[in-house]
Amino acid sequence: NPEENTIMFSSSLQNQYQKQLEGQHNFFRNCRPTTARFNIVRRLTAGLSKLYQQLYENQNALHANARLDRSFIKDFIKPYEMLAHRYRVINKIGRGTFSQVVCAEDTYYPVRHLVAIKIMAPQFNSIGIQESKTLLYLNLHADSDNIHLVKISNTFMFEGHFCMVLDYYEGGVPQLPRISNEEYRLQVLRKFACQLLITLMYLRKWGILHADLKLENIIRTKATSLDLRVIDFGSAMRIDEVHVYFNTFEAQTLAYRAPEVIMGLPFGIEIDMWSFGCILCELWLGYPIFYSSSKHGVLREIEKLLGPLPDSVYRYGKFFSYYKARPDGGIRSSTGIEDQNMLRIERICRVLKTQDINFVNFVDYIFNCDPSKRPTPSECLFHPFFAPLFPFKLLFDSHLVTAAIRTAFVNGNNDQGYWHDDNDSLRTSHNTKSNLNGIMRIYDD
């Protein structure tokens, strides 16, 4: 009977297909462990998740097993979509572990006005809220155009996502011109460095660490401009919060991480200065100076350039014994080694491929492995490397000028501070913003 044969044949095919499925299921079940599931997002952000869970556990803002929704990263926002009945999305301009950034048009303006909107994943809304509070606090107390911080203009919720409206900058990551004229490249580097130091001076004044300074978090306002803005304050912390981060979280991106952070020492504002030095060298070289995929490798690169880390400082680190026993010899004591300064200068000259002694000395000045001896931003501004920008410094006692800078910016006392005006004379200033306007005029010339 043809019908019976067809039924028997179909039944046979179905049985064979079922056996194949069972065989594949058993194969894959035996090939992967059933106990520990691998979650790449959780592995990459484990420290951050623990940190922010501790900081916001009372608010119940994060879940222990939070993971990113891939549809949020890929397809959540569509072009021409309206956010908050005001911002018309144009295109996506970036994304990260916690958020994505879109370029949008603010329709409340009579002329075309572009903004950048940072949209947080719902699991990490608390990180965005904390970042917005930090930016609002900093913007409130400063003229951001002179302090070189990104401006925040609005916040809102959109379908469970916390959103921040920021100024839109189209210049991209800063780069030095690829020309053979070393002096011109150094002058551009000075102007970039000066702006970053002004930002660090301001953060230091208000007791805030950026804690994730890197070249990707610095952007030019326009493609043809040397004006910079520091962005991404998602990891920023106050000085009185450092102990919480110290116990649960490794601050800074690895290639820009200060040795005291790697070694598990209590850290402070000095770690931002280390990152600043790494950025300076990366701008000059075109690649990170301490690049490695592991903490061992970063320490090895630091010691190859700067010499052995001092035992007297790092023996108290949580991970000192671990790194001391590493295969490449660990941290070697510098006790008894005489005059390593010249050797270190020669190595820096060779790595940076420059003979400009002021630049080499400035890099060596910043990369002090003893955090207590690392220079402050205001002290760096009066290094001879910046003499072409501030020639008046050579005419006056540097201690007096540095003291004035500390009074105006570090201690927050603006009653009296000395600065440089358009007539190349010292004058008394009663306002920090006017001081910054003066410095901006100098290096914009």
Binding-site residue numbers for ATP are 118
Catalytic annotation on 212?
Answer: yes
Q: Which residue has the tokens 């790595």?
A: 351
Q: Residues 136-157, buried b or exposed e (16+ Cβ, 10 A)?
A: eebbeebebebbbbbbbebbee
Q: Which amino acid is at 220?
A: R
User: At how many degrees (to 10) do helices 341-352 and 270-285 cross?
Assistant: 50
Q: Which amino acid is at 116?
A: A
Q: Are 267 and 235 in contact (CB under 8 A)?
A: no
Cα diameter, the chain: 112
H runs (alpha helix) in 65-179: 70-75, 125-140, 144-147
Considering only CA atoms, which of 58, 84, 163 is closest in space to residue 121?
163
Considering only CA atoms, which of 110, 109, 130 is closest in space to residue 118?
130
For strand 161-167 and strand 82-83, is the pairing parallel, antiparallel, or unpaired? unpaired
Token output for 366: 């910043």
Considering only CA atoms, which of 214, 207, 220, 248 is closest in space to residue 232?
214
Write down how long the chain is: 445
Q: Are 261 and 267 in contact (CB under 8 A)?
A: yes
For strand 417-420 and strand 426-429, is the pairing parallel, antiparallel, or unpaired? antiparallel
Catalytic residue among 75, 145, 212, 445: 212
Q: Which residue has the tokens 């940190």?
A: 51
- E runs forming strands in 262-403: none
Rounded to whole angstroms, how far apart are CA atoms 114 and 255?
Answer: 33
Considering only CA atoms, which of 142, 140, 136 is closest in space to residue 436?
142
Residue numbers in the known binding site are: 118
Catalytically annotated residues: 212
